[in-house]
Amino acid sequence: MKIKEEEIETNQLKPVEIVRDEYGSWIHPEYSKYLDQHHKNQEWLSQDEWNEVKRYFNIETVQFYLEACVSEDTWEKMMDDTDLSEWNPIASDGFFLMDIHFTEDDAVAVFAREKQKESEVV
């Protein structure tokens, strides 16, 4: 039996107040809760797992990497200091911050918005 898309549970992710920590990192509380429930102690998500996150929260995402957004000197300073508090990436078109944190080789900001229906895509 094939499950209809509308019968699959989703929990629409919505913007919330952002209070970044002393190092400039932050994660959406609902996304954090999801990770704790489904991927506790995992360092990264596979593409299939990431696709499931997006399906579960009914979102599409964009990611910005620190290295591509700031000068080399600024990137080196932020990476050396492990401090993202001066980085304030912005996404347009209704996207809101979902996660901002350091990775092994860079820092990333993930933005999300409600998945657009085909008829809404321009």
DSSP string across 70-92: S-HHHHHHHHHHT--TT------
Give the separation between CA 115 and CA 95, rounded to whole angstroms: 10
List helix spans (H) across the chain.
29-38, 47-57, 66-69, 72-81
Residue 118 DSSP symbol: G
> Over its length of 122 residues, how does the chain's per-residue pLDDT go in tens digits?
444 555 556 799 999 999 999 999 999 999 999 999 999 999 889 999 999 999 999 999 999 999 999 999 999 999 999 999 999 999 888 999 999 999 999 999 999 999 987 655 55
Instruction: Supply the pTM of this predicted model.
Output: 0.86
**Bridge-partner residues for 102, per DSSP?**
107
Give the separation between CA 104 and CA 111, rounded to whole angstroms: 19
Give the separation between CA 101 and CA 82, rounded to whole angstroms: 10
